């Protein structure tokens, strides 16, 4: 790249940031309730930063019970009407909302990159695209809210079931893929005739508020409400509100368990998408032209490793170990760490001080583990520009025992460990040796081994010879401690956001059955 082109990219990056900043400032201090972007009742705000340079991009309201109560009451009032709108008309409105996002996509992706520190080209733009796609898909599926007829022993009795909306749905979302996770919850809920109140993540509230503002133009007031705040002050009263009849959450295991406990007394169903410590496995017969880039894709380095499906435990068969490690590390050198707003950047900044410290903490453990080797990365970048933000390079380690925290905990940063193995059986046991069961990836040309792995691996999202991110129309969710329920496809709308009545109608003849 010439110096002149560099300057062009950097100039564009500055313009992108300035435009997005104007939006986050406009959204500062606001919530979206009853179709209006309005000042929150909460007096206090918290600062939101851009992780690329730690500049303050706005203030988000620290909503508590007062804002929760207002939002839920508004949503409850809107529900009474919304559930009577014909399902396909609801779907059409959602599809118009998807069109509206598409028309504003250039700004949405900029606000997303500014809010999260995720790189515009590799992450914020594709996430905006998949959020549009998912919204449109659920809009189209609204006509699938069908019940069943049940064969009757009595010819004059019609037996059937309905698919009804549940009421007000509470969504609590994280910051790592905030737009996609937001629409994964609100689009099926709204299509099914529910109204929603979403609490955004404190680290990235503006991109979601901006998206909701755009979608809201196509929806009746009160159907889609968005508030901001911390977990205990805002998330907890939202889950506990008596009018909330369904809770859907993505985030950490500990918070998922807490949310399930808040919802339990009112027997309110909960969908949970939690963490993972996912294996990426390479057998000695694998096509390494697929496996080597696949491991890197699988690590989600372009999202700084902040992905629940990140394949952070890379098991490689011993005979090809050195070749795979050499291939992966050579390619990691091509990943360009830099300003998230710059089109030339592959990998942006870690979201927050807390998550950055978490990565540094695990790296300290690695540096203090006697046999651990840093194969790539492992140190903050020396470029002073990158020193201003939470930048950490893609990092690959080996020599760590399976019992190390680095092989057991979800780091949620750009750090993966490689582990050699000789026996397939032993490797499968080790791959399953975690409380989580979210995703798993295997590279092989041996169909029989692939099928055996599919059978024996304890994961809800299982891939062979690739490691793509979860996507629209493909059901996604975890086993074991990785969650409850599946999202992103038709079954999510039907299973999570409807309730059903079983109805028996007798046309007027005595039914001999008791």
Binding to ligand NAI (CB under 6 A) within 284-323 occurs at 308
The nearer residue to ligand NAI, 174 or 193, going by C-beta atoms, is 174
Judged by CB under 6 A, the residue of 116, 250, 278, 472 near ligand NAI is 250
Any contact of residue 255 with ligand NAI (CB under 6 A)?
yes
Query: Could you tell me which stretch among 62-70, 84-92, 194-202, 395-403 binds ligand NAI (CB under 6 A)?
Result: 194-202
Any contact of residue 408 with ligand NAI (CB under 6 A)?
no
Any contact of residue 439 with ligand NAI (CB under 6 A)?
no
Query: Could you tell me which stretch among 36-44, 272-280, 367-375, 468-476 binds ligand NAI (CB under 6 A)?
Result: 272-280
Any contact of residue 252 with ligand NAI (CB under 6 A)?
yes
Nearest to 136 by CA among 173, 165, 93: 93
Look up 43 and say whether it is catalytic.
Answer: no
Any contact of residue 105 with ligand NAI (CB under 6 A)?
no
Torsion 258-48-394-287 (CA) sign: positive
The nearer residue to ligand NAI, 24 or 250, going by C-beta atoms, is 250
Cα dihedral 284, 289, 290, 293 in deg (nearest 10): 110
Any contact of residue 46 with ligand NAI (CB under 6 A)?
no
Judged by CB under 6 A, the residue of 28, 176, 216, 444 near ligand NAI is 176
Any contact of residue 259 with ligand NAI (CB under 6 A)?
yes
Query: Could you tell me which stretch among 23-31, 230-238, 284-292, 451-459 binds ligand NAI (CB under 6 A)?
Result: 230-238
Any contact of residue 231 with ligand NAI (CB under 6 A)?
yes
Any contact of residue 274 with ligand NAI (CB under 6 A)?
yes
CA dist 482 and 256 (Å) reads 10
Q: Which one-letter DSSP state was computed for residue 337?
A: B
Q: How far is the CB of 415 from ligand NAI (least distance, A)?
A: 12
CA dist 144 and 149 (Å) reads 15
Applying CB under 6 A, the site for ligand NAI has a residue count of 26
CA dist 416 and 279 (Å) reads 10
CA dist 91 and 89 (Å) reads 5
Residue 2, number of CB atoms within 10 A of its CB: 7
- Please, what's the b/e burial string for 486-508 (b: 16 or more CB within 10 A of its CB; e: otherwise)? bbbbeebbbebbbeeeeeeeeee
Any contact of residue 201 with ligand NAI (CB under 6 A)?
yes
The nearer residue to ligand NAI, 354 or 426, going by C-beta atoms, is 354
Any contact of residue 360 with ligand NAI (CB under 6 A)?
no
C-beta nearest to ligand NAI: residue: 231
Judged by CB under 6 A, the residue of 202, 218, 240, 398 near ligand NAI is 202
Question: Which of the following is catalytic: 202, 213, 218, 273?
Answer: 273
Any contact of residue 174 with ligand NAI (CB under 6 A)?
yes
Look up 268 and say whether it is catalytic.
Answer: no
The nearer residue to ligand NAI, 115 or 273, going by C-beta atoms, is 273
List CB contacts of 174: < 8 A, sequence separation 6 or more. 181, 201, 250, 251
In angstroms, the first-to-last Cα distance of the chain is 82
Nearest to 307 by CA among 345, 339, 341, 350: 350
**3-state secondary structure at position 144:** helix
Q: How far is the CB of 300 from ligand NAI (least distance, A)?
A: 11
Any contact of residue 160 with ligand NAI (CB under 6 A)?
no
CA dist 293 and 441 (Å) reads 13
Any contact of residue 273 with ligand NAI (CB under 6 A)?
yes
Judged by CB under 6 A, the residue of 52, 167, 222, 275 near ligand NAI is 275
CA dist 346 and 302 (Å) reads 6
Nearest to 44 by CA among 235, 236, 231, 229: 229
Question: Which of the following is catalytic: 207, 308, 407, 467?
Answer: 308
Query: Could you tell me which stretch among 124-132, 226-234, 420-428, 467-475 binds ligand NAI (CB under 6 A)?
Result: 226-234
3-state secondary structure 428-470: HHHHCCCCEECEEEEECCCHHHHHHHHHHCCCCEEEECCCCCC
Nearest to 208 by CA among 37, 56, 12, 42: 37
Check if the beta carbon of residue 309 is closer than 8 Å to that of residue 273: no
Judged by CB under 6 A, the residue of 412, 424, 443, 453 near ligand NAI is 412
Torsion 497-258-356-313 (CA) sign: negative
Any contact of residue 432 with ligand NAI (CB under 6 A)?
no
Interface residues with ligand NAI (CB under 6 A) are 172-174, 176, 199, 201-202, 230-232, 235-236, 250-252, 255, 258-259, 273-275, 308, 355, 358, 410, 412
Q: Please give the positions annotated as active site.
A: 273, 308
């Amino acid at each position: 790249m010439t110096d002149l082109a560099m300057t062009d990219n950097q100039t564009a990056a500055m313009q992108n940031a300035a435009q997005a900043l104007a939006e986050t400032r406009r959204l500062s201090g606001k919530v979206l309730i009853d179709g209006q972007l309005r000042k929150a009742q909460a007096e206090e705000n918290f600062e939101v930063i851009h992780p690329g340079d730690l500049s303050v991009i706005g203030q988000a309201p620290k909503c508590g019970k007062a804002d929760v109560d207002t939002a839920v009451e508004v949503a409850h009032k809107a529900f009474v009407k919304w559930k009577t709108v014909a399902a396909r008309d609801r779907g059409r409105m959602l599809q118009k909302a998807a069109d509206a996002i598409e028309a504003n996509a250039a700004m949405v992706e900029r606000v997303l990159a500014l809010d999260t520190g995720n790189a515009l080209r590799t992450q914020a733009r594709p996430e905006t695209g998949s959020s549009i796609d998912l919204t449109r898909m659920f809009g189209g599926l609204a006509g699938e809210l069908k019940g069943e007829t049940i064969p009757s022993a009595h010819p004059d009795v019609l037996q059937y079931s309905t698919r009804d909306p549940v009421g007000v749905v509470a969504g609590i979302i994280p910051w790592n893929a905030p737009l996609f996770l937001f629409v994964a919850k609100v689009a099926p809920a709204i299509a099914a005739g529910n109204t929603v109140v979403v609490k955004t993540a404190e680290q990235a509230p503006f991109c979601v508020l901006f998206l909701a503002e755009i979608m809201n133009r196509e929806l009746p007031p009160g159907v889609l409400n968005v508030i901001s705040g911390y977990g205990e002050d805002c998330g907890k009263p939202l889950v506990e509100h008596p009018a909330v009849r369904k809770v859907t959450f993505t985030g950490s295991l500990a918070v998922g368990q807490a949310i399930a406990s808040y919802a339990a007394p009112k027997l309110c169903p909960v969908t949970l998408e939690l963490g993972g410590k996912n294996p990426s496995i390479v057998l000695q017969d694998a096509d390494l032209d697929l496996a080597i880039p696949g491991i890197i894709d699988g690590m989600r380095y372009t999202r700084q490793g902040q992905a629940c499906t990140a394949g952070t435990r890379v098991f490689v068969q011993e005979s090809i170990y050195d070749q795979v490690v050499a291939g992966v590390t050579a390619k990691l050198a091509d990943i360009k760490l830099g300003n998230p707003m710059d089109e030339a950047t592959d990998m942006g900044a870690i979201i927050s001080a807390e998550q950055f410290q978490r990565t540094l903490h695990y790296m300290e453990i690695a540096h203090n583990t006697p046999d651990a080797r840093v194969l790539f990365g492992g140190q903050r970048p020396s470029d002073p520009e990158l020193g201003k933000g939470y930048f950490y390079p893609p990092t690959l380690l080996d020599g760590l025992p399976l019992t190390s925290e680095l092989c057991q905990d979800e780091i949620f940063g750009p750090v993966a460990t490689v582990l050699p193995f000789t026996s397939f059986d032993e490797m499968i046991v080790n791959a399953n040796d975690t409380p989580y069961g979210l995703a798993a990836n295997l590279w092989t040309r041996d169909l029989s081994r692939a099928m055996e792995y599919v059978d024996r691996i304890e994961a809800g999202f299982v891939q062979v010879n690739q490691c793509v991110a979860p996507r629209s129309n493909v059901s996604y969710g975890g086993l074991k401690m990785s969650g409850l329920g599946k999202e992103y496809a038709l079954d999510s709308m039907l299973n999570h956001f409807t309730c059903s009545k079983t109805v028996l109608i007798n046309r007027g003849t005595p039914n001999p059955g008791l």
